Amino acid sequence: MRLIPTIDWVEREPSLRVKLRRAKKYMSQKQFLKSIEMEIQRINKIIDQKIIRGEDYWKEARDHKLLLKKIRFHERRSFFRRLFPTFLAV
């Protein structure tokens, strides 16, 4: 299991305003991705409200883009796994 430091992530990305309620020193990759997905859902709600009110939402769009980039980075697969996805699914 791959462990990802949470504290370093928050310090490197202060613009995301992520609040980790029970800040552990490390969390698993699955927990990390789940926390990012929850933050994306929260940002999407804010963007939807701003669209309805006719306000600018470029800051939230930037944060959303950064979070999606993080998810894609941690969920990337090797070339061989993309060619033979069922071969290695054991």
Tell me how crowded residue 49 is: count the other CB atoms within 10 A of its CB: 12
Instruction: Pick 54 or 75 by higher pLDDT.
Output: 54
Pairing state between β 26-28 and 3-5: antiparallel
Tell whether 89 is covered by a domain.
no
Residue 53 lies inside a defined structural domain of this protein: yes
The answer as to whether 28 is a domain residue is yes
Asked if the model's pLDDT at residue 13 lies above 90, the reply is no
Position 30 scores a pLDDT of: 85
pTM for this entry: 0.60
Residue 11 has pLDDT above 70, yes or no: no
Number of domains in the chain: 1
What is the residue range of 39's domain?
3-83
Q: Report yes or no on 90 lying in a domain.
A: no
Residue 86's pLDDT is what?
A: 67
pLDDT of residue 21: 45
Closest by Cα among 31, 75, 76, 40 to 60: 40
Q: Is 22 helix (H, G, I), strand (E, B) or coil?
A: coil
